[in-house]
Amino acid sequence: MNDKQKAAAAAHDADFTEAQAKAWERIVPTAQVIRIPPQTTIFTKRMSLRF
């Protein structure tokens, strides 16, 4: 891969990852989405347990 292809792939990955994060936030209201640059996203969901 040349530098131009790497830059295009990185931009696509960033856009795709952000779209996933926004969808997760919209679909799962209790979700916590943590964005850690560059392009690392962690999806978590708060859960409550009843005993």
Contacts of 43 (CB under 8 A, 6+ apart): 20, 21, 24, 31, 33
Tell me, what's the pLDDT at 24? 85
Range of the structural domain that residue 22 is part of: 3-45
Residue 50 in any domain: the answer is: no
Please count the structural domains in the chain.
Answer: 1
Residue 51 in any domain: the answer is: no
Measured distance CA(39)–CA(30) in Å, rounded? 22
Instruction: Map residue 29 onto helix, strand or coil.
Output: coil
* pLDDT confidence band for 14 (50 / 70 / 90): confident
Contacts of 36 (CB under 8 A, 6+ apart): 42
Residue 13 in any domain: the answer is: yes
Residue 25 in any domain: the answer is: yes
Residue 40 in any domain: the answer is: yes
Residue 9 in any domain: the answer is: yes
Contacts of 18 (CB under 8 A, 6+ apart): 41
pLDDT in tens, 27-40: 888 878 877 776 66
pTM for this model (two decimals): 0.61
Dihedral (CA of 35, 38, 39, 42) sign: negative
Residue 36 in any domain: the answer is: yes
